[in-house]
Amino acid sequence: MTNPADLTLAQLRDALKKKETTSLEATDAYLARIEKAKPLNAFITTTADKARDMAKASDTKLAKGEGGDLEGVPLGIKDLFCTEGVLTTAASHILDGFTPRYESTVTSNLWRDGAVCLGKLNLDEFAMGSSNETSFYGNVINPWRREGDDTALTPGGSSGGSSAAVAARLCAAATATDTGGSIRQPASLTNTVGVKPTYGRVSRWGIVAFASSLDQAGPVAQDVRDAAVMLKSMAGPDPKDSTCINRPVPDYEAVLGQSLKGMKIGVPKEYRLDGMPEEIEKLWAQGIDWMKDAGCEIVDISLPMTKYALPVYYIVAPAEASSNLARYDGVKYGHRAKDYTDILSMYENTRAEGFGDEVKRRILIGTYVLSAGYYDAYYLRAQKVRKKIFDEFTDAFSKVDLILTPSTPSAAFALGEKSDDPVQMYLNDVFTVTGNLAGLPGASVPAGYDKQGLPLGLQLLARPFDEETMFKGMYAIEQAAGATKRPAEWWA
Partner 1 sequence: MSIDKDTVRKVAHLARIAEPEERLEPLAKEISGILDWIEQLNEVDVEGVEAMASTVDVTLPMREDVCQDGPTGGGQPDNVVANAPKTEDHFFVVPKVVE
| Residues 442 to 471 in contact with partner 1, rule: CB under 8 A | 464
Catalytic residues: 78, 158, 182
- Candidate list 117, 174, 382, 454; residue touching partner 1; CB under 8 A: 382
Dihedral sign computed on CA atoms, order 177, 178, 184, 187: negative
Contact between 364 and partner 1 per CB under 8 A? yes
Residue closest to 125 by CA, chosen among 86, 95, 168: 95
Residue among 237 and 453 whose Cβ is closer to partner 1: 237
Contact in structure between 397 and 463 (CB atoms under 8 Å): yes
CB count within 10 Å of CB 65 equals 8
Tell me if 333 contacts partner 1 by CB under 8 A: yes
| Residue 46, beta-bridge partner list | 119
Q: How far is the CB of 306 from partner 1 (least distance, A)?
A: 12
User: Within positions 416 to 445, which residues make up the interface with partner 1, using CB under 8 A?
Assistant: 422-423, 437-439
Q: Report CA-CA distances (Å) from 67 to 5, 15, 64, 71, 171.
A: 20, 13, 9, 5, 20
The residue within the footprint of partner 1, chosen from 246, 248, 274, 398 (CB under 8 A), is 246
What is the DSSP code (8-state) at residue 290? H
Indicate whether 336 belongs to the interface with partner 1 (CB under 8 A). yes
Distance CA 367, CA 388 (A): 24
Q: Among residues 386, 418, 463, 472, which is the contact residue for partner 1, using CB under 8 A?
A: 386
Residue numbers 189-218 binding partner 1 by CB under 8 A: 198-200, 213
- Tell the smallest beta-carbon distance from residue 438 to partner 1 (Å): 6
Backbone angles phi, psi at 132, to 5 degrees: 60, 35
The helix (run of H) or strand (run of E) holding residue 56 is: helix 48-63
**Residue among 239, 257, 295, 482 that touches partner 1 (CB under 8 A):** 239
Count CA atoms closer than 13 A to 52's CA, side-chain side: 6
Cα–Cα distance measured from residue 129 to residue 116, given in angstroms and rounded to the nearest whole number:
28
Q: Does 302 help bind partner 1 (rule: CB under 8 A)? A: no
Among 97, 148, 248, 275, binds partner 1 (CB under 8 A): 97
Binding positions for partner 1, 2-21, rule CB under 8 A:
none
Of 285 and 423, nearer to partner 1 (C-beta) is 423
Binder to partner 1 among 215, 223, 329, 450 (CB under 8 A)? 329
Q: Residues, the chain, total?
A: 492
* DSSP strands (E only) in 85-200: 116-121, 173-178, 193-196
Among 30, 43, 81, 98, binds partner 1 (CB under 8 A): 98
Contacting partner 1 within 103-122 (CB under 8 A) = 103
**Amino acid occupying residue 421:** D
User: Quick one: which of 140, 195, 151 has its CA closest to 173?
Assistant: 195
Part of the chain binding partner 1 (CB under 8 A), chosen from 156-164, 284-292, 362-370, 484-492: 362-370
Round to whole Å and give the CA distance between 240 and 253. 27
Q: Which of 8, 243, 286, 452 binds partner 1 (CB under 8 A)?
A: 243
Nearer of residues 97 and 275 to partner 1, judged by Cβ: 97
Q: Which is nearer to partner 1, 39 or 416 (CB)?
A: 416
